Structure 1
């Protein structure tokens, strides 16, 4: 089993690891990093989304709308009716309970108070049966996000297009910036319905179709690179279905025909035919879904939940294999390029696990129960007096399944492993640690899916890192 103890030491003080070349790790002084990268990655956009670009609303300050209006004399019925339409049933009952008992009919106040008690008992029963509903709003999205410190991070998600040189970056101001090899054109996607972005996915074989999972469901943007930079809401199609929101994971099938979505408030996975605006729910009794990941071959769809259950669906018949873990929930999952191996980490321990699939069967001996095998120990250790490892945050596996990157919840260094797959066997070995400058933490990571001709040197793959400062770093493997 691989472990962090076998990793090489960090670069010398004042140096930063900038690339991997022929199996050797290259480091340079921090003040030369930008110049070196600009020589090797000529057409890659320089991105630094600083906090000064954001104009956050003070979401923590909420004024009672009744206090900013001029006081007027209203009858009890009008007051209750207005509150009902503006703020809902519970607030209307509170209005009746507060004002009727003191200024109007005490009987109405007593009835309202008893109804509030009934509503409270019903809510307690609901939370007992469905404890995941205790986390609502931005806190629930942050809890199940792949991004470290999602609610505070300048960068909340990164997504490379699978077929062309185009990268989408979701920022904490609820905008999405799209960068390409045209540095003068940076589309900015923003709308009132796009709040708390939790996931992005480019549609394969379509140059400008981007699905966005957010608080209000799914927005599908159709981006025309020749139009204005700022995109109005009319260019986005909103997909909503009953209580299927907030959407924390959106994934296109590898052929681009189907869009799968998951919501932490709904146990159903939705499979969308976006062109026809139709959906089919994959219904299962149990905790809601949190994360989806198609295998690159399109034959399987892995779905994690907010509980200890996860399922792997066979998409030819849409039949699921149900799996459970001992403690916690699944934190992150990745598929190998052939779809033969599934790697995952959990929220409660520091191991990397592997499930293998060959001819629709998990490759375990007939004498041994089918189970996931730990392949790497990620327990926290000290290297050069710096803590590394611990509970994993996110996984990223390169398209060739040669390099695996792992970020951690409590430490800032990124661990890079070398991986080799021999049909039923995965070999994993340590490569290096990556660190930011100063006190930066890696918020999110992903590998570029399609390199094309983007540099003056042939590269195997490029790891893209979104640092907590808002800086994007490209780490090439040459």
Structure 2
């Protein structure tokens, strides 16, 4: 069996002679150890080389996807360019009006300008209060406190500025600074319905923050399942506290399909969300992914699971493609959607496109609480007729209080520095269809905004 049979092996018990391998001396043993070590070194070098190549390929493919605005936590802090690419304001760096905030129950409005100034209006015909501070930089969002007509939270670089009137001098405003991270940006704000806590979302990480204004501190940070997008969480029209309870709790095995993380991962299989809007009860979500003109709708339904335990099942379908659509019997070109806002009464939905000279007003229909439907109703253009004007930001608000209802309005900020207010008289979908049939146009108001 062995080629070298120089060494004699004594016979075994059965009388046969056996031969064994030669005995290795010390020098031969060292040569074997060296060959084994060389072999292991070669395998390790090959593994390291391939691992580096695979890692570089992974970073190249998944770290540089087009239109994927994703800041990796703990590595590179977000820049102003990242902020401008991810914000819903059209042409944010040079936009005269960057953001419009309307009071949830009153007529107060706040405008954020490119000069990092917050203009507080109680009446559009009266000059506003100008709120400026050295800490108020790269402003992106604002929110009124529900039970106060003048307390305003403004989000921007590094944290939040909370403005409130002095007790002895109501016309004078004092500022409280809530610092978060110096190299991060607050991109969305929302108060709880009770006004006791303030919720914010940042650009550079996958978390939302819960602030206690009176204690002047950050109470809790919650993990958001999806990277690079928070608007689908913050646009919850119902009390956002219900949505936070989903973020704080993990779904058991029997209710795995009810997990918010599972559902949200299914929502954005392709790209992050550019803009989103919830219906009033929170059981429908409309959203548009980045770099798309298609509007998707997600609908929830209750299903009885094992042991008769109910859980939510979400289904997603395409609602409408706004790249090309018909409105008033004419075909129009829309393009990529920049922003979408929902009417407080869930009658209208407004869309703003990338540098298009109009705002599209659509009628929302939810037949039998099933899938969402949208019908284009009206194209709203600049009232001054400027050929190069395009909307930079839009929102819905209230006009005034009437006996049993409040007239709503669609507020549009234009690139020319003008604020346009469209009064929405229809209170139901049937009234909106009737106004369209009678060709009744919404009353308009236009205000020139003094940026300086």
Output the TM-score relative to the length of structure 2: 0.65
CA distance in 2, matches of 1:431, 1:225: 46
Among 183, 188, 193, the alignment partner of 1:249 is 188
Among 275, 279, 293, the alignment partner of 2:234 is 293
Q: Does 1:378 align with 2:319?
A: no
1:175 aligned partner: 117
2:26 aligned partner: none
CA distance in 2, matches of 1:420, 1:408: 22
Among 348, 353, 361, the alignment partner of 2:291 is 348
Q: Does 1:468 align with 2:415?
A: yes
Instruction: Please state whether the residue corresponding to 1:151 is helix, strand or coil.
Output: helix
Among 267, 273, 279, the alignment partner of 1:336 is 279
1:314 aligned partner: 246
| Contact 1:254/1:296 (<8 A) preserved | no
| Contact 2:357/2:389 (<8 A) preserved | yes
Q: Does 1:393 align with 2:338?
A: yes
CA deviation after TM superposition for structure 1 residue 203, in Å = 1.1
1:16 aligned partner: none
CA distance in 1, matches of 2:106, 2:394: 19
2:36 aligned partner: none
Task: Report Cα offsets for 1:236-276 as digits up to 9, x if no partner.
Answer: 11112346721111111222222111111122211112222
1:187 aligned partner: 129
CA deviation after TM superposition for structure 1 residue 371, in Å = 3.7
| Contact 1:445/1:465 (<8 A) preserved | yes
Task: Report Cα offsets for 1:205-233 as digits up to 9, x if no partner.
Answer: 122211111012111111359848675xx
Q: Does 1:407 align with 2:346?
A: no
CA distance in 2, matches of 1:301, 1:350: 30
Q: Does 1:267 align with 2:206?
A: yes
Output the TM-score relative to the length of structure 1: 0.62
CA distance in 2, matches of 1:265, 1:171: 23
1:209 aligned partner: 151
| Contact 2:401/2:407 (<8 A) preserved | no
CA deviation after TM superposition for structure 1 residue 401, in Å = 0.4
Task: Report Cα offsets for 1:126-153 as digits up to 9, x if no partner.
Answer: x969962668332122111111111111
Question: Number of residue pairs matched?
Answer: 336
Among 59, 64, 78, the alignment partner of 1:136 is 78
2:35 aligned partner: none
1:87 aligned partner: none
CA deviation after TM superposition for structure 1 residue 399, in Å = 0.7
CA distance in 2, matches of 1:243, 1:266: 13
| Contact 2:139/2:155 (<8 A) preserved | yes
CA distance in 1, matches of 2:415, 2:103: 23
Q: Does 1:445 align with 2:445?
A: no
1:229–1:425 CA distance, 2 compared to 1 (3 A) = same
| Contact 1:208/1:223 (<8 A) preserved | yes
1:153 aligned partner: 95
Q: Does 1:327 align with 2:270?
A: yes
CA distance in 2, matches of 1:360, 1:153: 47
| Contact 1:200/1:213 (<8 A) preserved | yes
CA distance in 1, matches of 2:189, 2:156: 10
| Contact 1:294/1:301 (<8 A) preserved | no
| Higher relative contact order structure (alpha carbons within 8 Å, sequence separation ≥ 6) | 1
1:429–1:191 CA distance, 2 compared to 1 (3 A) = same
Task: Report Cα offsets for 1:318-361 as digits up to 9, x if no partner.
Answer: 87602232322211111112222111111132111112235599
1:434–1:420 CA distance, 2 compared to 1 (3 A) = same
CA deviation after TM superposition for structure 1 residue 460, in Å = 4.2
| Contact 1:337/1:400 (<8 A) preserved | yes
Instruction: Please state whether the residue corresponding to 1:188 is helix, strand or coil.
Output: strand
Q: For structure 1, which runs of at least 5 residues remain unmatched after alignment?
A: 1-123, 303-311
Instruction: Please state whether the residue corresponding to 1:146 is helix, strand or coil.
Output: coil
Q: For structure 2, which runs of at least 5 residues remain unmatched after alignment?
A: 1-58, 252-258, 305-309, 426-452
Instruction: Please state whether the residue corresponding to 1:143 is helix, strand or coil.
Output: helix
